[in-house]
Homo-oligomer: A and B are copies of this chain.
């Protein structure tokens, strides 16, 4: 879930009947059927990636759209090189809409992120926790420990424990609380421990207290920005329809309106990644050189969590093989 503090569109239009039927058709009846199909889709079939020497990255977000927003570009770039990327939503997103909720919405959102994962070339998993009710329990911590271990992760991504949504903050705490523990054999003894504590990194955010977001690395996603925007566009419940803060006025009534709304959403997402590039231009410069950095338009950036293994610059370069 992303906080539309600058809403991507907010003219409250009445929804004509014709458009409604299309909405209805989209609105989860078809997707529901998909959602109830066996889980053995290619994206979710294998819990552990092949031991093929490729990188193994696992990213956690609170809702089915958070990982995609924060690391969708770099995830696509990793996947294009054959690295193994898994995006995990710690809640099922079941209150992330202004008109729908509960299990049907959870199914719709899972179907959406599965479609996005196909576009990104990544794996995806959605945990069945109620949206808006996430707590840093031992059960949740252990679920995360198991996922990191099963993925044999080299790199683990998460939000910081300070962000606007309580689910985001508690996702940050849960992943912190899994750091190091993934190496301790006799917690969750049924899953083999990792030999080394992975690198843990945070996504960036705009919050300043108690301390601001300070990424050590920023990556240009200019090459894949269209694919990222395509992947996000699939999540209509969150973006086209506006998620928890949307309203009927956002729903397009015809093809023209729909095209306009789709563009509005894409522009909003693009602007977000432009903002990251601008805010962390100096970090880009450290990695790309000042001149190249000045030409980068879209970026994603990551900050080292002190509770994982501490990488030096060489190891960061190995983890982000894009230079």
Partner-B contacts on A (CB < 8 A): 1-13, 15-17, 19-20, 22-24, 26-27, 35-36, 38-39, 48, 62-63, 65-66, 69, 92-107, 110, 126, 128, 130-133, 135, 138-139, 141-142, 162, 164-167, 169, 176-177, 179-181, 183-190, 192, 207-211, 238-239, 242-245, 247-251, 253-254, 261, 264-265, 268, 306-307, 309-310
Contact = CB atoms under 8 A, between A and B. Distances in A.
A272 B189 CA distance: 31
Contacts of A23: 19, 22-23, 26-27
Nearest to A70: B2
A69 B186 CA distance: 23
B210 A261 contact: no
A8 B166 contact: no
A1 B66 contact: yes
Given A2-B66, A66-B1, A101-B101, A138 B135 contact: yes
Given A2-B66, A12-B249, A101 B103 contact: yes
B250 A185 contact: no
Given A8-B242, A13-B248, A164-B307, A110 B186 contact: no
A275 to B, nearest CB: 10
Contacts of A138: 133, 135
Contact of A249 (B10, B131, B166, B186): B10
Nearest to A140: B139
Contacts of A19: 19, 22-23, 26
A104 B100 contact: yes
Given A100-B102, A101-B101, A142-B128, A209 B306 contact: yes
Contacts of A63: 1
Contacts of A26: 19-20, 23
Given A3-B164, A185-B98, A242 B126 contact: no
Contacts of A107: 189-190
A185 B249 contact: no
Nearest to A185: B98
Given A6-B268, A189-B107, A1 B93 contact: yes
A181 B8 CA distance: 19
A23 B17 CA distance: 12
A48 B45 CA distance: 13
A187 B48 CA distance: 27
B62 A250 contact: no
A92 B186 contact: no
Given A8-B268, A95-B184, A95-B185, 12 more contacts: A1-B167, A2-B243, A8-B265, A9-B250, A13-B249, A15-B248, A22-B23, A101-B101, A102-B105, A133-B138, A164-B306, A166-B180
